[in-house]
Amino acid sequence: MAAQQRDVIIIGAGAAGLMCAINAGQRQRDVLVLDHARKAGNKIMVSGGGRCNFTNYYIEPNRYLSKNPHFCKSALSRYTQWDFIALVDKHGLPYHEKEEGQLFSDLKSKAILDMLLQEVADAGAQVQLKTEIESITPLDKRAAPYRYQLTTNQGTYHCQSLVIATGGLSMPTMGASGFGYQVAEQFGLRILPRTAALVPFTLQPEEKNWTEPLSGLSTPATLSCNTMSFTGSLLFTHRGISGPAVLQISSYWQSGDTLEVDLLPGLELDEHLKQLRQDRPKVELKTVLSEHLPSRLAKALCEHFFTNKTMSELSNAQIEEIAQQLHHWQPKISGTEGYRTAEVTLGGVDTDELSSKTMEAKKAPGLYFVGEVMDVSGHLGGFNFQWAWSSGWVAGEVV
């Protein structure tokens, strides 16, 4: 059977691939999006706890991790959070700011996915699911303007531009695969080491012994590692610790690094305890701590780290030790939960191999990489979707 000829083929019907299809389709390019999954946009569906945190009011390049911190600037400035907000407004979808500029859909995440699929259809682009890509072959000059041949379980295709939008390795159950990295390798593009990020930590057994009964309990904390700090909720889980501040700091943690947790951010505990020793000498440490921490946590900390004494029984040295322990807790980490629960993959296709204006591979004309597959990862809070929208859109302008 003869090969189908398309202007643009995009592999991956996720956030970046759909945005690329919208822009290319609006430019009257004949666009086909291929995905091996049964449904498009699986991660959009599960994002933001079911309410898609689709962008952030405060998108800044310093909210992204990459070997080249400048790479993301061009795309983020050409398709901004305001452009995506305008799209959401055009469809009349209600949304709200949760905290720190994070914009969440009021409706289920499906509303955002439906909006994108509507835009894809309006732009005349097509999405074809359950399509396994078997091979990609560069075509010789005689086939111009067609540059790439794709062999799939649904037939053979020739395209002028090929966009890889297959995302990272996190959540294989959502369709994640290492396919994008294999394509990069095939075309001689460097791939930087990848790790699971925005991911909960697991704790070593002796630490888990006292934290596991606290599972489900959350408390405000400041977490620091390798000169970075995040303040927010820390959630105790069956396996270790999670919650927004934990996920954020996980992107800066590598095996063997020390994580430091301030369980009482904003309180000078040693000053406070010394004052209480004068004002309320009979009050117990457990009671004092439960005035600033959830009582189950205060009790567990007292049992695990200290002996529960009254304020008058505490020496200066003991007070300082208590303050040190609670402001600088160093949980014994065994690792992370890995790609099974990670929100993103750190690392990926080296941005040095790509044009920051178009996302085209410098070594392979007509081949583009967009979204999470490349070495650009955002903080928690809508930054990752904004990268997918921005990088997808700028590629869509030229493919």
Ligand X SMILES: Cc1cc2nc3c(=O)[nH]c(=O)nc-3n(C[C@H](O)[C@H](O)[C@H](O)COP(=O)(O)OP(=O)(O)OC[C@H]3O[C@@H](n4cnc5c(N)ncnc54)[C@H](O)[C@@H]3O)c2cc1C
Q: Which residues bind ligand X (CB under 6 A)?
A: 11-17, 34-37, 42-43, 46-48, 52-53, 133, 165-167, 170-171, 175-177, 179, 343-344, 371-373, 382-385, 388
Of 280, 378, 275, nearest in space to 63 by CA: 378
- Rounded Cα–Cα distance for residues 320 and 318 (Å): 5
| For ligand X, the closer CB: 163 or 322 | 163
- Rounded Cα–Cα distance for residues 334 and 241 (Å): 11
Q: Provide the b/e sequence for 95-121 (b: ≥16 CB within 10 Å).
A: beeeeeebbbbebebebbbbbbbebbe
CB 199 within 8 A of CB 250: yes
| For ligand X, the closer CB: 234 or 373 | 373
CB 75 within 8 A of CB 386: no
The CB-nearest residue to ligand X is: 14
Amino acid at 242: S
CB 372 within 8 A of CB 19: no
Q: Identify the H or E element spanning 272.
A: helix 269-279
Q: Which residues on adjacent β-strands are paired with residue 31?
A: 8
Helices within 56-151 (DSSP H only): 71-78, 81-90, 110-122
Amino acid at 88: V
Question: 71-78 and 383-396 helices cross at what angle (nearest 10)?
Answer: 80
Q: Which two tokens stand for residue 216?
A: 């489900």
| For ligand X, the closer CB: 39 or 73 | 39
- Closest distance of CB 345 from ligand X, Å: 9
| For ligand X, the closer CB: 179 or 201 | 179
Of 341, 344, 327, nearest in space to 380 by CA: 344
- Closest distance of CB 85 from ligand X, Å: 14
- Rounded Cα–Cα distance for residues 391 and 161 (Å): 15
- Rounded Cα–Cα distance for residues 383 and 389 (Å): 10
| For ligand X, the closer CB: 42 or 222 | 42
Helix (H, G, I), strand (E, B) or coil at 261: strand
| For ligand X, the closer CB: 59 or 326 | 59
What is the chain's alpha carbon radius of gyration, rounded to the nearest angstrom?
25
- Closest distance of CB 172 from ligand X, Å: 10
- Closest distance of CB 203 from ligand X, Å: 22
| For ligand X, the closer CB: 7 or 372 | 372
| For ligand X, the closer CB: 232 or 371 | 371
| For ligand X, the closer CB: 329 or 389 | 389
- Closest distance of CB 53 from ligand X, Å: 3
